Structure 1
């Protein structure tokens, strides 16, 4: 079966590949980009290569649906489903505030509901990550819970806000 390619007016979402590691390293090694991620910034390219290889392998096993987000041929982000219907995303800082995340995440949601037949999509967000919370809420997600000390990142514990979007509430853009 041919891996899906998802197109939007400005973006192409294609399966993540091992050769994406250098472009992803620019994001995964940036402290500001990784501020609310579930791990510390990557120290070297080898760490990112291992992370990408595991993401590619998880997708091949059917445990994830991991996509590179390209704009004008340049990798500018990553969107994924893992642990079933949990969504996650990461974008290069130079596209923040341009609607790229909303366009890419919306396209992945459509794929999740229409192709993967999810009945809902979940998210786990650091409560201090106001940009991601606002994006998800604009896309129709509703907060369903809160938990303290869910991730230890370096020496610091962070909390989680849980959100969910039922398929019946999804409005395709």
Structure 2
């Protein structure tokens, strides 16, 4: 992603992640509500979040593209395609229910097709995560299949619902 690139919506600024996002991201990734259906348990130590952020920062442009979501100048979440073509997102619970995720998802999906030329965008969602499934459904994603015991999160096996959105 070009340095300094920003996507701007009515309320949000989506920008590339930076090392300075560590504290804001740790506030999200340590929260058990935010990480309930995430691919890892809550980050107890900030070092775990630093490792996660370093991996995100090391993603090469041909591999994926992530954005930090800012609301009123504060980092409140992350949305993007960490590895093409799979979309992922996580937001601080303080902004849930305000349409922030939907507003952030729209330009990222548009960019996935228009700029990156993806034929489809996919998602892997825990079937208990009704909010994420509803969000993706509103954006046109459709279920392709399901699988059991796909993620071991801490000591709990979780299932997956796989969804896809074809290029318009």
Q: Into which bin does the TM-score normalised by the smaller protein fall?
A: over 0.9
Q: 2: distance between equivalents of 1:93 and 1:154? A: 21
Give runs of aligned pairs for residues 1-173 of structure 1, distance below 5 A. Answer: 2-3=2-3, 4-58=5-59, 60=60, 62-168=62-168
> Any gaps of 5 or more consecutive residues in structure 2?
none
- Measured in 2, the distance between the counterparts of 1:139 and 1:42 equals 30
Report deviation, 1:162: 0.3
Runs of 4+ in 1 over 3 A off after TM superposition: none
Q: TM-score, normalised by structure 2?
A: 0.96
SS of residue paired to 2:39: coil
Q: Secondary structure at the match of 1:106?
A: helix
Number of aligned pairs? 167
Contact 1:55 1:64 in 2 (8 A): no
Tell me the alpha carbon deviations over residues 88-133 of structure 1, each in whole angstroms, 9 at most, x when there is no partner. Answer: 0000111100000000011110111111111110000000000000
Q: What is the CA–CA distance in structure 2 between the aligned matches of 1:86 and 1:42, rounded to whole Å?
A: 22
The 1-side partners of 2:153 and 2:45 are apart by 17
Residue 82 of structure 1, CA deviation: 2.6
d(CA) in 2 for partners of 1:132, 1:54: 24
Question: Match of 1:26, SS?
Answer: helix
* Cα separation, 2, equivalents of 1:83 and 1:148: 22
Distance in 1 (CA, whole Å) between partners of 2:138 and 2:72 is: 25
Aligned partners of 1:126 and 1:158 also within 8 Å: yes
Describe the SS at the equivalent of 1:132: helix
Q: Distance in 2 between the 1:116 and 1:156 partners?
A: 35
TM-score normalized by the length of structure 1: 0.93
Distance 2:52 2:82 in 1: 14
Helix, strand or coil for the counterpart of 1:108?
helix
